[in-house]
Amino acid sequence: MPPEGESSQLNKLEEWDIPAAFHFRVTVGDAQVSFCEVSGIECSLEIEPVQSGGDNYNCFYVPKSRKFTDLVLKRGFVKKGDAFFNWCKDILAEPLSKESIKPKDVIVSLLSESEEPLVSWAFKHAYPVKWTLGKFDAMKNEIALETITLKYYSFKLLDL
C-alpha cells in the first residue's frame, strides 16, 4: 500500500498513460470498419504576413484560415465489397453527379486495453477522393493493401 498522499499521485499518473498507437477503432457513418493504419490527423493555421504602414522592418502575422490534411486509411484489400468499399466505389467509380457524393461522418478513436475510447476525433462530412491499391512484388511476402484518402469539412477532438 502506498504511503499516505501517494495514492492520488498514482491516480494522476494513470490519467497520463501514453496510449498505444496500434489499438484504434474507425467508425464510418454507422459502421465500424477495420484498418491497419490511419494517418493525416492534422490541423494547421494559415497565416498572412501584414506590413505595418511605414514600418519596413517589422511584419505582423494574422490568422487567415484553418487547413486540414487528408485522412488516409489503409487496410488489406477487400475482394468482396463491404459497405465501406461500396460507398467508396459509388463515389469514385460511378459517373459523377451531385447525388453521387454522399458524405459520412468518420470517428477515429484510440482505445484502452478494455476497448474503451481514450481519445476520439470526429471528421465531419468526409468522402473518398482517392483509392490506391499497393504495388505487387513477387519478391516480397506481403498482403495486398488498399489505401483510401478522404477529404472532410472539419475535425474536432471529442469530449469523452
Q: Is 15 helix (H, G, I), strand (E, B) or coil?
A: helix
* Strand stretches in the chain, DSSP E: 24-28, 31-33, 37-39, 43-51, 59-68, 71-76, 104-111, 117-133, 145-151, 154-158
pLDDT for the residue numbered 12: 47
Q: Per-residue pLDDT for the chain (160 aa), expressed as one digit of tens each?
A: 455 555 444 454 455 577 788 999 999 999 999 999 999 999 999 999 988 877 778 888 999 999 999 999 999 998 777 899 999 998 998 888 878 899 999 999 999 888 899 999 999 999 999 999 999 999 999 999 999 999 999 999 997 6
Domain that holds residue 117: 19-158
Cell of 60: 505582423
In a domain, 3, yes or no: no
pLDDT for the residue numbered 57: 84
In a domain, 2, yes or no: no
**Counted domains in the chain:** 1
Residue 114: which CATH number? 2.30.110.20
Q: Report phi then psi at 158, rounded to 5.
A: -85, 145
